[in-house]
Amino acid sequence: MSEGRLIVACDFGTTTFRAVVTEVGHGGSFKVVGHAEEPAQGFRDGDFVDLGAGSACIARLMARLEQVADIYVSGFAYNISGPHLRSVRATAGLPIGPGPRPIRHADLDEARTRASAMAIPFDHQILSVTPVEYAVDRVRGVIDPVGRVGAQLEIQAHVITGSRSVLHNIENAITTAKYKPLGEEIDVLATAAALLDARERQEGAMLIDVGGLCTNWAVYRKGVIVASGAVALGGWHLTGDLAHGLRIQRDLAEDVKRTRGVVLRSLVDQVPIDVLFEERRPTETPGLVAAILEPRMEEIFTCVKNDFGDARELAALKAGVVLTGGGSRCRGTRALCEEVLDLPVRRAYLPAALKDAGALPDGQWATALGLGLLYAGGEDQEPRATPPGRGGWLARLRGRWRRHDPGGEMAAEA
């Protein structure tokens, strides 16, 4: 019998589905009670393209989790990812009245609604709207306009939308596996909830999650997310390059990458790369592995840099980069990231608030743990511009999650 609240969360990754049960105690401390993983099936680009295979994979994953953690799972929180997600900076204006008056919380809500009402693809729905900054009577950079006197309010918001049909397909796969979809969160936001601390979010930091087929990134500044995106490259492509370059099978290349992978040529003895173009199979050496992997890893970080686009804003991220994801595990990845982005980089795989990781194996558990943290409300982020007395961002988020769970049933039962 457990003492705290049990929360089940599932990370639908491009290569692996991972589920964790966390127990949340008083004061926001939490520990891992059980975990399970399954190679992803029926799932591509964040969508269940094969409902039968996908739901069977979910059922196997949850059955294993129930066994390991000795609980009954009724439903779980999960992530949303993939190229169907769109991130845009929306702006909207709101006349405050015939003359200037103090701005109220209701004005902020109205401005946010107007920003959300911007044109989005007809098959998309808005998943998140985060105010980035306000302008009052054209004075820009206002963080909290409530109480300021003005006649015109403008909002700039970071808006993320997602395909309705993909969201529906995910819910469908979960219910077909006989579980309840208890709530969704955008992949990179869940990972950030687990790995970025309050100082990093405040001073400015970029999170980069190099996954299997995809690299997700998000930039935080003054406590809130200001930009996010994804690049369709990841560890899977590194393995493919190794298999191609060394002319070996993919599973062997995967093993070479995991055990001897190095992505920075300056860390190893350099070798002539002409052998890669000769007819006979080249002999594997650290120099050759680095020569094959470095250009791809450099491409991934360059794509992230270009996707973000704003070189000045990038240089102003005082807390630098937090690097995570299975694809960031090769030797030299942190140093290469520092070279490309010209920022300090730290690698992180588990949340600092995690009291006890249990028997959690090496791997990318941050997304699932972040989902658990958000669901529990134990994450320390409180974005600015959240109107006080309205339950706050986490309460609203939990409210959104409860939408699927009218009976208020718990995510898991011991």
Per CB under 6 A, residues contacting ligand ATP are: 13-16, 81, 209, 211-214, 234-236, 239, 254, 257-258, 261, 325-327, 329-330, 364
Q: For residues 182 and 174, what is the distance between their CA atoms, to the nearest angstrom?
A: 10
- Least spacing, CB of residue 16 vs Mg ion, in Å: 8
9 versus 115: smaller Cβ distance to ligand ATP? 9
DSSP for 101-125 reads EE--HHHHHHHHHHHHTS---TTEE
Q: For residues 241 and 160, what is the distance between their CA atoms, to the nearest angstrom?
A: 32
Q: DSSP strand E in 60-144: where? A: 72-73, 75-80, 86-95, 101-102, 124-136, 139-142
Residue 102, Cβ neighbours under 10 Å: how many? 12
- Least spacing, CB of residue 320 vs ligand ATP, in Å: 20
Residue 15 binds which entry of Mg ion, ligand ATP, none, CB below 5-8 Å type-dependent: ligand ATP
- Least spacing, CB of residue 366 vs Mg ion, in Å: 8
Residue 212 binds which entry of ligand ATP, Mg ion, none, CB below 5-8 Å type-dependent: ligand ATP
- Least spacing, CB of residue 214 vs ligand ATP, in Å: 4
Q: Following CA atoms 400, 375, 381, 367 in sequence, which dihedral angle do they give, to the nearest 10 degrees?
A: -110
Q: For residues 369 and 122, what is the distance between their CA atoms, to the nearest angstrom?
A: 33
Name the token pair of 265. Answer: 């040529």
Residue number of the CB closest to ligand ATP reads 211
Residue 214 binds which entry of ligand ATP, Mg ion, none, CB below 5-8 Å type-dependent: ligand ATP
- Least spacing, CB of residue 322 vs ligand ATP, in Å: 14
- Least spacing, CB of residue 295 vs ligand ATP, in Å: 16
Q: For residues 70 and 82, what is the distance between their CA atoms, to the nearest angstrom?
A: 32
14 versus 156: smaller Cβ distance to Mg ion? 14
265 versus 329: smaller Cβ distance to ligand ATP? 329
Non-local (6+) Cβ contacts of 236 within 8 A are: 14, 15, 212, 213
Q: CA 383 → CA 35, 61, 208, 386, 393, distances in Å?
A: 30, 34, 20, 6, 7
Give one word for 35, left, alpha or beta, with left for phi > 0 and alpha for psi -120 to 50: beta
Residue 112 binds which entry of Mg ion, ligand ATP, none, CB below 5-8 Å type-dependent: none
21 versus 238: smaller Cβ distance to ligand ATP? 238
Q: For residues 108 and 120, what is the distance between their CA atoms, to the nearest angstrom?
A: 21
Non-local (6+) Cβ contacts of 11 within 8 A are: 17, 18, 19, 78, 79, 187, 190, 364, 365, 367, 368, 371
Residues that bind Mg ion (CB under 5 A): 13, 211
- Least spacing, CB of residue 211 vs ligand ATP, in Å: 2
- Least spacing, CB of residue 275 vs ligand ATP, in Å: 23
36 versus 92: smaller Cβ distance to Mg ion? 36
Residue 81 binds which entry of Mg ion, ligand ATP, none, CB below 5-8 Å type-dependent: ligand ATP
81 versus 128: smaller Cβ distance to Mg ion? 81
- The residue type found at 69 is A
154 versus 209: smaller Cβ distance to ligand ATP? 209
13 versus 261: smaller Cβ distance to Mg ion? 13
